[in-house]
Amino acid sequence: MQCATAAFVTVLVYDWLLTMRLEVEFIWRQKMSFGKLLYFINRYLVIIDLVILLNSYANPIIHGSKVPAAPNSLLDNDALCPSCRCVPWFHIDSWLGVVSIVAIDTIMLIRTWAMWHRSKKALAALVTLQVLCNLAEAGATLWASLTLFYIPSPNDIRPCLTGFARPNVLYALFMGVVVWDLVVMVATLIRVIPTMRLNQRVSPMIELILKDGIQYFILMLLIALANIVVLNEAPVQFICLSLVAMHLLAVNQGALATMLLTLQRVTNSVIGSRIMLNLRGMLLNPSYNSQASDTLVGGSSTIELAFRRNRSVYSNQLGLAK
């Protein structure tokens, strides 16, 4: 588990280095705005999150000391828990993950809303759905936090290991992601497909929106489904929660049930950041796309016009104004 998390950190840092030039041009040189804040949260909060995970795995101060079990813990109060300090780190990691999901969902909301010509009805529908999905994700995280307990485990598996009394509640977390991404993809296709039928050639803006949107949707859908499968198929363990009374048992699926959560966060950050950089590049620098053309064969794209005509408003939303 430690090596997997270290690999995910490496992927994030590598992608950050690859896109550093674009980030400086399209992010750092622009005025501070809500969109710029969303980018920073999506890009850098996950790195902080994974560093916290690595610290909880490898820091001997955390998983090498003995501290009394918390009064409200499922562990016996007289017992000594070798890694009870793991639990606070789990809470921090979990809620940072929720904040990251809210950030990328908001980025996709603004992008989709702009495609719908900033329609008030579309905005109301998207905001309502995002709130419901984010509440489901936060509710699942809260339940996991309230039912969390520490599990002694071999250090080569995961020194700082925690479990849940009812891990199936985490289905709500993944289903919230699937529902939101599905609706955003459908809303994108509803706007893009009619435009593609009217034009003999797809404009660079539409091509960018469609390409990024489909890639993001497919990746996040596959990862969410993989999380659901792993959560359902992870081997069940019966764990004694009392070191005195040996009859108290709880069912847990261990670290394997949530082993792909980190992959989901990394993919969210990488793809979400690239979506924002690509869109900013197209709006701020017409030559950003090597295939860009000033002439649209077959007429003007309504979606591209929606972005161009509302550029001042949309730029403010994403922090593009200089």
- 160 close to 55: Cβ distance less than 8 angstroms: no
pLDDT in tens, 242-287: 444 333 344 445 556 677 788 888 988 999 999 989 888 887 776 6
pLDDT at 144: 79
CA distance to 114, 186, 191, 273, 299, per residue, from 276 (Å): 13, 19, 19, 5, 27
User: What mean pLDDT comes out for the span 56-76?
Assistant: 51
Name every residue whose Cβ is closer than 8 Å to that of residue 127 and which is 6 or more positions away in sequence: 109
Q: Which one-letter amino acid corresponds to residue 222? A: L
Please report the pLDDT score of residue 260 as a whole number: 77
Percent of the chain whose pLDDT exceeds 90: 21
Given a cut of 70, whether residue 293 has pLDDT beyond it is no
Q: Which stretches within 59-150 are classed as H helix?
A: 60-63, 86-115, 120-146
Closest CA to 16 of 27, 2, 5: 27
The residues, ordered by sequence, that sit 6+ positions from 301 with a Cβ below 8 Å of its Cβ are 195, 199, 203, 205, 206
The ranges assigned to domains in the chain are: 2-318
DSSP line for 34-99:
HHHHHHHHHHHHHHHHHHHHHHHHH-HHHHSS-EEPPTTSSS-TTSEETTTTHHHHHHHHHHHHHH
pTM of the full structure: 0.77
Closest CA to 42 of 104, 123, 118: 104
End-to-end CA distance of the chain: 43
> Residues with Cβ < 8 Å from 59, sequence gap 6 or more?
none
- Tell me: the pLDDT tens digits for 90-142? 788 888 989 999 999 999 999 899 888 889 999 999 999 999 999 999 998 88
Q: Does domain 2-318 have CATH number 1.20.1070?
A: yes
Tokens 């101060």 correspond to what residue? Answer: 61
pLDDT tens digits for 4-26? 777 878 888 899 999 999 999 98
